[in-house]
Amino acid sequence: MSIAYLHSVLIYLRQELPGNYREQINLTGEKLLIRIPNELNFSTEYETLHQAVESCIQRVRNRHMDLEFTIRSDNQERDFKILK
């Protein structure tokens, strides 16, 4: 995987995601990780983030690779992938 490409996706998402999620997204290895606070409802936040991320990535015309995401709190974690 291209770390440079993943880093550019990270920068793009930090610009495009809703304000409360921009600083919660980081690159860990070959996955983009989004942490959510424990006091929020995980299922609701997961659905909101999944839709927001998917919407942002669909606007990118030339995707170079499949993108893997993890949404995590201290108690739960879910992964999803957006295909090239």
- In the chain, where are the structural domains located? 3-82
Laid out side by side, the sheet with 31-35 consists of 25-28, 31-35, 67-72, 77-82
Cα angle at 72 between 68 and 28, to 5 degrees?
50
Q: For residue 80, which of 13, 72, 70 has the smallest C-alpha distance?
A: 70
Q: Which of 18-22, 29-33, 59-63, 74-78 has the lowest mean pLDDT?
A: 59-63
Q: How far apart are alpha carbons 40 and 58 in whole angstroms?
A: 27
Residue 46 main-chain phi, psi, to 5 deg = -60, -50
Q: In the 8-state DSSP scheme, what is residue 36?
A: -
Residue 47 main-chain phi, psi, to 5 deg = -60, -45
- Rounded to an integer, the average pLDDT of 24-51 is 94
pLDDT at position 67 over 90: yes
pLDDT at residue 1, as a whole number? 53
